[in-house]
Amino acid sequence: MTLPLAKFRMLDISRQMPGPFCSALLADMGMDVLSIAAPSDPLGAGLPLIMRNKRSMKLDLKSEAGRAIFHRLVETADVVLEGARPGVTKRLGVDYETLRTKNPRLVYCSITGYGPDGPFVGRVGHDANYLAYAGVLNHIGNGGEAPVIPDVQFADCGGGGLMGAVGILTALLARAETGRGQFVDAAMLDGSLAFTAYPLLLKHTLGREPERGYGQPTGHYPCYAVYETADARHLTLANYEPHFWATLCRHFGREEFIPWQWDESRRGEMFAFFRARFREKTLAEWTRELEPLEICYAPVDTFDEVLVNPQLVHRGMIVEIATPLGPMKTFGPPIKLSDTPASIRSGAPAFGAHTDAVLAELGFDAAAIAALRESRVI
């Protein structure tokens, strides 16, 4: 079976998380992704778990010979993906304006923190900074306490990587109509702001900034909160709809709580009850008791539990791949297609594993490849 993106070739010169995550999503769908990094920069090869389905090549783009090789690769590529600070690719001679002259059909995606223009263009940043500027961080944490930085890179993967993938696919569709490539601008700040649709709506409807930790889906109310169990584990309730809340209250024999769901004056009383009750049993005991009910419940799982979760296993979301560090379990393709499903066809390659093969495809013989390696171009 031919995967839907199998006819497209990408040169990925991004590094760290956002770009390699973006290219991993596309590689799962069949895109031929060649990850390119300097010989002295193994970090540029990306994290092992998001290097599956890719090829890896060492190439020094700071050298004239390295740039010449890259330009030759661009001639037959469909996509170039980069994640450098604005101005870096221009200095290297691998920016969109340069490469489009060699391949007018090229789709060129740049994932940056703040975008290639504007007053923040020269700023450095990381995930927490983009979430902070976008207003996301201001809504994570408990009321009266400092914002909490999540230990998951939402701006990198969602604001940058996911938005970049959507942009690349859209540009490829447009190219099918126009015959021309284009520049795809995916800024992590922009993408992070797009995640604030609900709290931003609350600001407009309330006429003020929603207070961190005091909204309905924040843990401020007993129906939608995290509780500790007898074995110092935690579970979540998210019974936003009244009928789910009513079912929970009836299960615990406290039907009087049903009309008090959002009652601020009764909040403390209800919390005291549920916190005390949930500390009476272990997480496993509560899971057996609550899972059969028609309520929104879930245990707070560790990765050991996540990786054997029967729903995730059934959905093909837990896969084991080979990596240079040994076999590792990771996430499977998160987007499901009925006729041409994504797949994990290869594990993470060793850094630069495909360098010689790629150069051979360009016509370099063994002696020329050895000379490039001797001069540290590869």
323-343 pLDDT, tens digit each: 999 999 999 999 999 999 999
Residue 79 lies in a domain: yes
Q: Could you say which of 264, 299, 334 is where a domain stops? A: 299
In a shared domain, residues 275 and 323: no
Question: How many domains in the chain?
Answer: 2
In a shared domain, residues 139 and 259: no
Coil, strand, or helix at residue 147? coil
Q: Is-contact 193 135, C-beta < 8 A?
A: yes
What angle in degrees, to the nearest 10, is found between the helix axes of 18-28 and 163-178? 60
How many CA atoms, within 13 angstroms, populate the side-chain half-sphere of residue 8? 28
In a shared domain, residues 84 and 145: yes
Distance CA(185)–CA(94), nearest Å, equals 16
Residue 177 lies in a domain: yes
Residue 209 lies in a domain: no
Distance CA(295)–CA(321), nearest Å, equals 36
pLDDT of residue 45: 62
In a shared domain, residues 46 and 163: yes
Q: Is-contact 212 132, C-beta < 8 A?
A: no
In a shared domain, residues 221 and 325: no
In a shared domain, residues 121 and 254: no
Strand-by-strand arrangement of the 234-238 sheet: 224-228, 234-238, 297-299
Distance CA(277)–CA(104), nearest Å, equals 66
In a shared domain, residues 78 and 126: yes
Query: What digits encode the pLDDT tens for the residues 161-182?
Result: 999 999 999 999 999 999 999 9
- Give the closest residue to 194 by CA, choosing from 149, 120, 136: 136
- Residue type (1 letter), 149: I
Q: Domain containing 253: what range?
A: 216-228+234-299
In a shared domain, residues 96 and 73: yes
Pairing of the two strands 79-82 and 54-58: unpaired
Residue 324 lies in a domain: yes
Residue 335 lies in a domain: yes
Residues 6+ apart with CB under 8 A from 21: 50, 156, 157, 160, 161, 162
In a shared domain, residues 252 and 135: no
- Residue type (1 letter), 184: V
Q: Could you say which of 251, 279, 299 is where a domain stops? A: 299
Distance CA(221)–CA(217), nearest Å, equals 8
- Report, as ranges of residue numbers, the positions in the chain whose pLDDT lies below 50: none
Q: Could you say which of 252, 273, 299 is where a domain stops? A: 299
Residue 211 lies in a domain: no
Distance CA(347)–CA(366), nearest Å, equals 27
In a shared domain, residues 180 and 287: no
In a shared domain, residues 189 and 251: no
* From 156, 185, 190, 356, active-site residue: 156
Distance CA(66)–CA(38), nearest Å, equals 9
Residue 2 lies in a domain: no
CATH of the domain at 88: 3.40.50.10540
CATH of the domain at 289: 3.30.1540.10
In a shared domain, residues 169 and 55: yes
Residue 156 known to be catalytic: yes
207, burial (CB in 10 Å: exposed 0-12, middle 13-18, buried 19+): exposed
- CA angle (308, 279, 293) in 5-degree steps: 60
Distance CA(52)–CA(124), nearest Å, equals 29
Residue 126 known to be catalytic: yes
* From 71, 126, 234, 301, active-site residue: 126
Number of CB atoms found within 10 A of residue 119's CB = 7
Residue 202 lies in a domain: no
pLDDT of residue 69: 98
Coil, strand, or helix at residue 76? coil
pLDDT of residue 42: 73
